[in-house]
């Protein structure tokens, strides 16, 4: 095979609702540390780097020319995604979707970007992976991808299929066809939706069905031709939005909202993969992935992938088990004691507690739907909210008041802003604060305070070399985070806060 450019594409727009209350809309599962000291997004970036390591030369990886990863995310998650990517080093290219439209449009935008960045070069092979999956055996994962690239370079649409270990109703399945080449690859004979328990059992017994991992390998030109043929409206609206795209202050590519608004929402599976086959003129290949793969879709999957004690229990944080078995408990701070429980999931955060039977955790999404309908703040963000300048923690709230602990890192500065419905009192607990209040700018030291009247433009900055900590007391008739009009922001955020009352993307 001649040398080819391999372009990693990481789809980082998921919400992970079944992992509530740890996963929230503004901090979904790909951005939280479910396993170890790094997020699933960071693990995904590091895993893909191994594809280009020297030890893969015998499998053809020496012929791969690496391109910097493309990461596709939504606007609400852009800054948080960039923060995680900084920890990985390198210079990934970030594409920001104007609005969520599922994976087919996301891949189409990535394919357009990959081609545009190599206008006179080879047609890149895209390795398309979700940002929020878990792989236990990285070497086996790299070997499967190396094989998939060889097939994709010849024009096939390739996916990685996982030979099933058990009947599973939470995954889609791929029906495998005749062998293609060596090392177990097969033609794709069809995609089927998530089955019920009985049908899943028959799939496993037949040996003819593999789990659909959601990982795809395909040349950019092959994907763009396939999406134009199968979903022409997705192809045309993405192309128009891409043509009108621009780079923001962070270097991320922002697409045209007006053009993208007409784009249908569709998954890669529905849009193209269900039509793949020799008869349709879209050759498809499935490569086996035996690498301890999990989509970490719900709390039972987290339990399954975690180390357990002698009774099959998994403890995270301050947890005690007594007379319990096959259970999972997570604590963000408070002590969680589980007595006499079997097959239970308990997840404690500062503002919500989940208690569920382990075999019913798929139903957590119903709780999230109810919270959305009720505009519950617990579906959006945690009590402690990370921001590019530091974080704030809403430590108390009542009728017409709210108390926050705000920590600003050295050199950090909040946006220049004002509020229509609340006033604020600031008390410096630690460090030095530079305060802008109307036409004034002044410094505050520990134990000093100031008052920001309703409607007055203001900003908080940390000019020092140590973290700045303040206590903020808000008072007023409405205390939502969307009551922010932003005039200036060094992090490139929108001039105004989000418009919906339930949003928490301010400051």
Domains observed in the chain: 4-294 (3.90.550.10), 302-368 (no CATH), 383-488 (2.60.120.10)
d(Cα 507, Cα 96) in Å, to the nearest integer? 20
For the segment 240-264, the average pLDDT, to the nearest whole number, is 91
pTM score, two decimals? 0.86
State residue 59's pLDDT score: 46
- Tell me if 413 sits within 8 A of 490, measured CB to CB: yes
Give tens-digit pLDDT for 261-295: 999 999 999 999 988 876 667 889 999 999 999 99
Give the tens place of pLDDT for each residue, 63-100. 667 788 999 999 888 888 988 998 887 778 899 998 89
The closest alpha carbon to 32, from 393, 381, 389, belongs to 381
Provide the pLDDT for residue 56.
45
Mean pLDDT of 338-357: 97
Q: What pLDDT, on a 0 to 100 scale, did the predictor assign at position 54?
A: 47
Helix (H) or strand (E) holding 17: none
CB–CB of 333/318 below 8 Å? Answer: yes
Residue 81: phi and psi, rounded to 5, are: -65, -45
Confidence band for 194, pLDDT divided at 50, 70 and 90: confident
The pLDDT tens digits of the residues spanning 119-140 come to 677 799 999 999 999 999 999 9
With a CB cutoff of 8 Å and minimum separation 6, the contacts of 473 are 401, 402, 403, 424, 425, 427
Residue range 161-171, pLDDT digits in tens: 999 988 888 88
The overall average pLDDT reported for the chain is 89
Chain segment 396-454, per-residue pLDDT in tens: 989 999 999 999 999 999 999 999 999 999 999 999 999 999 999 999 999 999 999 99
pLDDT tens readout for residues 375-393: 888 988 888 888 889 999 9
pLDDT confidence of residue 53: 62
Contact 397, 403 (CB under 8 A): yes
Q: What is the pLDDT of residue 213?
A: 94
Residue 498 has pLDDT above 70, yes or no: no
Phi-psi region of 400 (alpha: psi -120 to 50; beta: other; left: phi over 0): left
Q: What is the pLDDT of residue 239?
A: 96
Examine the pLDDT at 192 and tell me if it is beyond 60. yes
């Amino acid at each position: 095979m001649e040398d080819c450019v391999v372009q990693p594409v990481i789809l980082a727009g998921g919400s992970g609702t079944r992992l509530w209350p740890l996963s929230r809309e503004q901090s979904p599962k790909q951005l939280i540390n479910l396993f170890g000291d790094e997020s699933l997004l960071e693990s995904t970036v590091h895993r893909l780097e191994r594809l280009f390591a020297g030890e893969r030369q015998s499998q053809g990886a020496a012929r791969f020319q690496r391109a910097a990863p493309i990461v596709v995310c939504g606007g609400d998650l852009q800054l948080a995604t960039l923060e995680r990517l900084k920890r990985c080093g390198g210079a990934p290219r970030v594409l920001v979707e104007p609005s969520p439209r599922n994976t087919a449009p996301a891949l189409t935008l990535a394919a357009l970007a990959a081609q545009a960045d190599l206008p006179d070069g080879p047609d890149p092979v895209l390795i398309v992976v979700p940002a929020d999956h878990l792989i236990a055996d990285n070497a086996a994962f790299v070997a499967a991808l190396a094989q998939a690239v060889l097939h994709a370079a010849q024009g096939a649409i390739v996916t990685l299929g996982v030979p099933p270990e058990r009947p599973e109703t939470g995954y889609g399945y791929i029906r495998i066809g005749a062998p293609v080449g060596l090392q177990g690859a097969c033609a794709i004979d069809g995609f089927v939706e998530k089955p019920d328990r009985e049908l899943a059992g028959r799939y496993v017994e037949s040996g003819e069905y593999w789990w659909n991992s959601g990982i795809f390998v395909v040349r950019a030109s092959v994907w763009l031709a396939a999406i134009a043929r199968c979903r022409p409206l997705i192809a045309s609206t993405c192309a128009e939005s891409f043509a009108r795209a621009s780079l923001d202050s962070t270097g991320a590519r922002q697409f045209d909202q007006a053009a993208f608004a007409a784009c249908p929402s569709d998954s890669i599976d529905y849009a193209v993969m269900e039509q793949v086959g020799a008869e349709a003129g879209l050759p498809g290949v499935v490569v086996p992935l035996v690498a301890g793969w999990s989509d970490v879709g719900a709390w039972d999957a987290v339990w399954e992938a975690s180390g357990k004690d002698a009774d099959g229990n998994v403890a995270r944080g301050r947890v005690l088990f007594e007379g319990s078995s096959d259970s999972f408990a997570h604590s963000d701070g408070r002590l969680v004691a589980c007595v006499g429980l079997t097959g239970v999931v308990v997840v404690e955060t500062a503002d919500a507690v989940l208690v569920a039977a382990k075999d019913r955790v798929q139903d957590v999404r119903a709780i999230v739907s109810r919270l959305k309908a009720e505009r519950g703040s617990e579906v959006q963000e945690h009590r402690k909210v990370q921001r590019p300048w530091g974080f704030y923690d809403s430590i108390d709230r009542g009728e017409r008041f709210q108390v926050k602990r705000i920590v600003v890192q050295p050199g950090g500065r909040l946006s220049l802003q004002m509020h229509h419905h609340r006033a604020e009192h600031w008390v410096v607990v630690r460090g030095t604060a530079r305060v802008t209040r109307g036409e004034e700018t002044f410094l505050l030291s520990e134990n000093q305070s100031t008052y920001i009247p309703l409607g007055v433009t203001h900003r908080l900055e940390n000019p020092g070399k140590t973290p700045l900590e303040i206590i903020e007391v808000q008072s007023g008739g409405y205390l939502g985070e969307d009551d922010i009009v932003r005039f200036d922001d060094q992090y490139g955020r929108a001039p105004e806060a989000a418009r919906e009352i339930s949003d928490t993307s301010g400051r």
